Amino acid sequence: MTAKKTFFITGTNSGFGRAIALAAAQADHSVIGAVRSEAAVAEIEAAGRGRIHGLVLDVTSSQAIRRSWRKQRRNSVRLTC
Question: 3-class SS at 79?
Answer: coil
> What pTM value is reported for the model?
0.78
The tens place of each residue's pLDDT in the chain, 81 residues long, gives 578 898 989 999 999 999 999 999 999 999 999 999 889 999 999 999 999 999 888 889 899 888 877 776 776 566 555
Is 80 domain-assigned? no
- The whole domain housing 33 covers 6-74
Rounded CA gap, 27 and 6, in Å?
11
Is 64 domain-assigned? yes
Q: Is the separation of the CB atoms in 30 and 6 below 8 Å?
A: yes
Is 58 domain-assigned? yes
Is 44 domain-assigned? yes
Instruction: Indicate the number of domains in the chain.
Output: 1
Is 81 domain-assigned? no
Is 1 domain-assigned? no
Q: Mention every residue, 6+ apart, whose C-beta is less than 8 A from residue 44.
A: 12, 13, 18, 21, 33, 35, 52, 54
Rounded CA gap, 78 and 54, in Å?
16
Is 47 domain-assigned? yes
